[in-house]
Amino acid sequence: MPNIEIHGLPEGDAKTMSSQVERLLRTSPVAETAVIDRYDDVVTDLKGYPKPFFRILCIDETEEKLVVGLLTPLNLDFEILPLRAFIPHG
């Protein structure tokens, strides 16, 4: 279950980016399980320049590589964190 978080973009840009992510993942093997989160946060470097990024959380390293490969054309940095487990409700 890949979790794709979008950080550091203004709300309108984050919505557009979310749509682009959805379009790229729609026909991929992770289409049924991926989730996209948009965060209303500000991300800057120490000089104050915007540094938006994707945070990718996956249980499976193969899915992680697939998601990164699919999203690379969107030109954002990646932060990748391991996800130990996902426990669905019910």
**HEC per residue, 19-71:** HHHHHHHCCCCCCCCCEEEECCCCCECCCCCECCEEEEEECCHHHHHHHHHHH
Q: pLDDT value at position 38?
A: 96
Q: pLDDT value at position 88?
A: 86
Q: Does the pLDDT value for residue 90 go beyond 90?
A: no
Q: Is residue 89 part of a domain?
A: no
User: By residue range, what is the domain housing residue 61?
Assistant: 8-82
Where does the pLDDT of residue 1 fall: very low under 50, low under 70, confident under 90, or very high at 90 and above?
confident
Mind listing the pLDDT tens digit for each residue in 2-57?
A: 999 999 999 999 999 999 999 999 999 999 999 999 999 999 999 999 999 999 99
**How is residue 82 written in tokens?**
């391991």
Where does the pLDDT of residue 89 fall: very low under 50, low under 70, confident under 90, or very high at 90 and above?
confident
Q: Is residue 39 part of a domain?
A: yes
Q: Is residue 55 part of a domain?
A: yes
Q: Does the pLDDT value for residue 86 go beyond 90?
A: no
How many Å apart are CA 35 and CA 58, to the nearest integer?
Answer: 11
Tell me the sheet residues that pair with 38: 6
Q: Is residue 3 part of a domain?
A: no
> What total number of domains does the chain contain?
1
Q: Is residue 41 part of a domain?
A: yes
Q: Is residue 2 part of a domain?
A: no
Q: Is residue 72 part of a domain?
A: yes
How many Å apart are CA 51 and CA 33, to the nearest integer?
Answer: 27
Q: Is residue 73 part of a domain?
A: yes
pTM recorded for the entire structure: 0.93
